Chains A and B, each alone.
Chain A
Amino acid sequence: MRVGIIGVGLTAFRPSTPEYSWKELMFEAASRAYADAGVDPRADVGSFVTCAEDYYEGFGIFDEFVPDQLGAALRPTCTVSGDGLQGLANAFMQIQTGLIEVAVVEAHSKISDVLTPIGIIEHGLDPIWNKPLGFHPYVVAGLEAAAYLRATHTPTKALDAVVSKTRRNALRNPIAAYGAAVDMDHVAASEARFEPLRSLDISGPADGAVVLVLASDRAARRLHANPVWIRGVGWASDSPSLETRDWAGATYARLAAGMAYRLAKVRRPSSEIDVAEVDDRFSYKELQHLEALGLAKSGEAGKAALRGAYAADGRLPVNISGGSLGCGNVFEATGLHRAAEVALQLRGDAGSRQIDGAKVGVAQAWRFVPSATGAVAVLGAGP
């Protein structure tokens, strides 16, 4: 059975959203997705999957707070404590069982409500071996960036190219919070933070919500929808301990992509994929993830970035949405946003950032520092 994305709903991503509660953000994204899909959530949707972590929300048992703002009261709901792309994989499988015909996936960030976001990320560090040392959790990203650049002989200048390209892309995305005409020199001159990372290598926080409506091919026909097909999904985790994981190669992304490519029958990703949206919440992650996804050879992504290969008019447009560097870090909504972007590109609905002729796209998620968990979805244009 084929499963497709038949509705996309996004709020604007903004550094703060003082006029809306987090529930109202979800309501807005859901209303947009249902309008896009032409579905009534009270009648047409069989299952609702939300993706959230109690700590980011500020209260316990998040899933109990879900139903009403999604039109899901008295309906099957569940919460995945992970990135929205992991929720997409769950909804995909629910439909594959034949039990559910239409499923909704939601993820959001109201990080501006969190007064101590770094403290929450710090709680992800091992409480016995790592956290007592008292380091900023982005130290993990600094260590990994240094290991990646060294292992792959990637020059720091390649990071300048990533940031400049991606934040400029965001200028064409009306929902992006951090679009800016940043030059490579600006990036290189920005303040040192967690060397080799500088302030502009690090995505800034944003609020926002993303809702996707998924349907079986039969339900999609019945609803007269124009689906983008989910050809493959995959997810994986590297060793959870900082000490035993792979510091250079994003093993979690390689394994997740392998699973998704097997399902999608993608054998040569570098020639079969037309657009890629990969996690770039730190600039080096874009390069590391492209290599892990088989879209560049190990050590080649940085050189390709410097040649402009990942620009809108390059060999493989990457993070045309503006990525997280340009759109903002929307935490658990990050991967679902990228799936939404790929879906819009494959539908031809990406506005002034549309990539002509895009038929196959990949979206990849990572659960941010200090995790080594990722998910991948391969999407294909209809019919």
Chain B
Amino acid sequence: MKVHLSHPERQVEVRGPKRVKDLLRDLNLIMEAHLVIRGDDLVTEDELLKDEDQVEIRPVISGGS
């Protein structure tokens, strides 16, 4: 599956099927700081992602004041 990441913006290819929670763990990202979006929809951490899925991992934490 194609996984879109931000900060910095990049695409990585990951072999499915894979659970959201394992995908985040493999990429060393924590759930509390990210949303996982498949196509246009938010998915929960137990969701199984397939090879043909388009996935975005969106960081939700911003700095500044």
A and B bound?
no
Please report A residues at the B interface, Cβ cutoff 8 Å: none
